[in-house]
């Protein structure tokens, strides 16, 4: 209603920052070595970290009244008795973007527990539990949503329902109203450089859950592909609780370096001729391997069955009885990644019961290699030759599939449903270079 809105001037602050903890950000940590050989260490820690809104949020604020030069609404008359200096203010349709005048500072609470054991002179094993809870994360929703009731045990928008403020159809409201929780098990094997070999291998098994937050993470929506930060039902954030758009369940990373044992001071080639030593000595190979599961994708459809009127509304369908909300085909192809027949259009007025971010897109397999040769040019000088191969196996890593399953309320299948038209990494690339170190 009109009383919920205040007239601001350009002299008002961009927005006020509210810190409920008054700058209090505690940190605590401990380490314990229980055995006499000093090779086993238990570590634990906790910290609270404030997350100031990023530049993206400030940019959104600058686009909001009174700092924006103009915005548009879909009604020609506002209940305001004075003429506007800019008549275009109320001349056309649109969806204003607004922010709260007082912004709660987003913050995270992070805690860890780890066990580390050294084996021999150069090998270390680590097992870590990592937890993070995010509070007051930014999300986008429409506060001018039509009232929702419970009918037949489901959320329902009555056909005659009106938006609370009839002067506007909807708003894009960006506010710190979302929460997040992350748990992970990390296993690490590390070999320090010995006999020319060093490596670090880590595996992470994690779960990242939120209720639509992440709008303040720069580039996060591009990373997540088809996932979105707009909340489906602004009157029930719990209906959007699901996998975070940045969730990666399995992630394996192996990095290594190996110095070939040939040349002066090495196991082989000590008696070789000078030209042969120059060609074959001082080579090393470095690699970085990544194998990870895919990011979540939010299943959507075009028809607005729920009565959602916001432009940013991500309408979700129903799951058919006995259906699978992550229906990835066993032998999928880029032409059809998942089976859309697991979804149906819900009755008019009802919100879809498919959860947010239930579909998992293809994962990634990537191997990068580099071959390096040192060429000594006298005291303190080295000409380094580098041959770098990115995506050495030329493995195709496919992007997100088309996530819009229905084109209309009749259930017509969207032609792009389940199709993959992009890749998430480049094809094999080879790069040669020289670096002079002095």
66 pLDDT higher than 90: no
pTM of the model: 0.82
Instruction: Judge whether 26 and 45 are in contact, CB under 8 Å.
Output: no
Model confidence band, residue 264 (pLDDT cutoffs 50, 70, 90): low
pLDDT tens digits for range 417-432 = 999 999 999 999 999 9
The token pair that represents 401 in the structure block: 């599939």
pLDDT, average across residues 270-284: 78
Query: What is the percent of the chain with per-residue pLDDT over 70, rounded to a whole number?
Result: 82
Number of domains comprising the chain: 1
**Higher per-residue confidence, 210 vs 52:** 210
Would you say residue 433 lies in a domain? yes
Model confidence band, residue 290 (pLDDT cutoffs 50, 70, 90): very high
Residue 14: per-residue pLDDT: 56
165 pLDDT higher than 90: no
Would you say residue 320 lies in a domain? yes
Query: What is the percent of the chain with per-residue pLDDT over 90, rounded to a whole number?
Result: 57
Residue 216: per-residue pLDDT: 47
**For all residues of the chain together, what is the average pLDDT?**
85
Helix residue spans in 67-181 (DSSP H): none
C-alpha angle 26-29-32 in degrees, rounded to nearest 5 = 165
pLDDT, average across residues 204-230: 62
Model confidence band, residue 54 (pLDDT cutoffs 50, 70, 90): low
Residues across the chain: 438
Least confident range of 59-68, 121-130, 176-185, 279-288: 59-68
Residue 347: per-residue pLDDT: 96
The token pair that represents 37 in the structure block: 């050989």
**Higher per-residue confidence, 358 vs 310:** 358
At residue 176, the 3 state secondary structure works out as strand
Would you say residue 311 lies in a domain? yes
Would you say residue 206 lies in a domain? yes
pLDDT, average across residues 13-18: 66
Distances (CA, A) of 161 to 156, 158, 306, 390: 10, 5, 12, 56
pLDDT, average across residues 121-138: 94
Q: At 100, phi and psi to the nearest 5? A: -70, 145
218 pLDDT higher than 70: no
pLDDT, average across residues 126-133: 98
Whether omega for the bond prior to residue 66 falls within 30 degrees of 0, making it cis, is yes
Would you say residue 336 lies in a domain? yes
Model confidence band, residue 85 (pLDDT cutoffs 50, 70, 90): low
Would you say residue 95 lies in a domain? no
297 pLDDT higher than 90: yes
d(CA 15, CA 177): 16
Element (H, E) at 60: helix 55-62
Would you say residue 72 lies in a domain? no
**Higher per-residue confidence, 264 vs 322:** 322
Model confidence band, residue 13 (pLDDT cutoffs 50, 70, 90): low
Residue 393: domain span? 33-53+103-437
Would you say residue 89 lies in a domain? no
pLDDT, average across residues 293-318: 90
């Amino acid at each position: 209603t009109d009383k919920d809105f205040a007239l601001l001037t350009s002299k008002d602050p961009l927005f006020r920052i509210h810190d409920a903890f008054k700058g209090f950000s505690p940190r605590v940590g401990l380490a314990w070595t229980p055995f006499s050989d000093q090779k086993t260490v238990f570590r634990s820690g906790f910290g609270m970290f404030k997350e100031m809104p990023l530049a993206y949020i400030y940019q959104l604020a600058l686009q909001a009244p009174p700092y924006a030069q103009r915005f548009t609404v879909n009604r020609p008359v506002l209940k305001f008795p004075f003429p506007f200096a800019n008549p275009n203010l109320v001349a056309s349709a649109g969806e204003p973007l607004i922010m709260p005048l007082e912004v709660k500072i987003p913050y995270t609470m992070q805690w860890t527990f780890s066990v580390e054991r050294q084996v021999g002179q150069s090998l270390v094993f680590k097992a870590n539990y990592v937890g993070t809870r995010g509070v007051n994360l930014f999300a986008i929703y429409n506060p001018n949503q039509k009232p929702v009731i419970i009918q037949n045990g489901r959320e329902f928008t009555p056909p005659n329902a009106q938006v609370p403020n009839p002067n506007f159809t909807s708003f894009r409201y960006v506010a710190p109203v979302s929460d997040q929780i992350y748990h992970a098990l990390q296993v690490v094997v590390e070999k320090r450089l010995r006999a020319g070999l060093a490596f670090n291998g880590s595996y992470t098994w994690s779960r990242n859950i939120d209720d639509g937050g992440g709008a303040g993470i720069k580039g996060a929506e591009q990373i997540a592909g088809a996932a979105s930060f707009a909340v489906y039902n602004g009157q029930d954030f719990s209906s959007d609780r699901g996998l975070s758009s940045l969730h990666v369940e399995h992630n394996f990373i192996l990095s290594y370096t190996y110095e070939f044992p040939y040349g002066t001071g090495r196991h082989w080639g000590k008696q070789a001729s000078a030209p042969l030593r120059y060609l074959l000595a001082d080579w090393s190979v470095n690699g970085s391997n990544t194998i990870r599961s895919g990011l979540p994708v939010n299943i959507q459809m075009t028809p607005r069955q729920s009565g959602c009127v916001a432009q940013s509304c991500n309408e979700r369908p129903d799951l058919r009885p006995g259906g699978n909300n992550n229906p990835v085909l066993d032998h999928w192809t880029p032409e059809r990644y998942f089976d859309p027949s697991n979804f149906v259009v819900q009755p008019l007025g009802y919100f879809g019961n498919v959860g947010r971010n239930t579909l998992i897109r293809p994962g990634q397999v990537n191997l990068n290699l580099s071959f390096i040769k040192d060429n000594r040019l006298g005291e303190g000088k080295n000409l380094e030759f580098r041959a770098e191969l990115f995506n050495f196996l030329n493995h195709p890593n496919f992007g997100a599939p088309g996530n819009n399953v229905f084109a209309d309320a009749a259930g017509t299948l969207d032609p792009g449903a389940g199709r993959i038209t992009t890749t998430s990494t480049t094809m094999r690339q080879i790069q040669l270079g020289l670096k002079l170190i002095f």
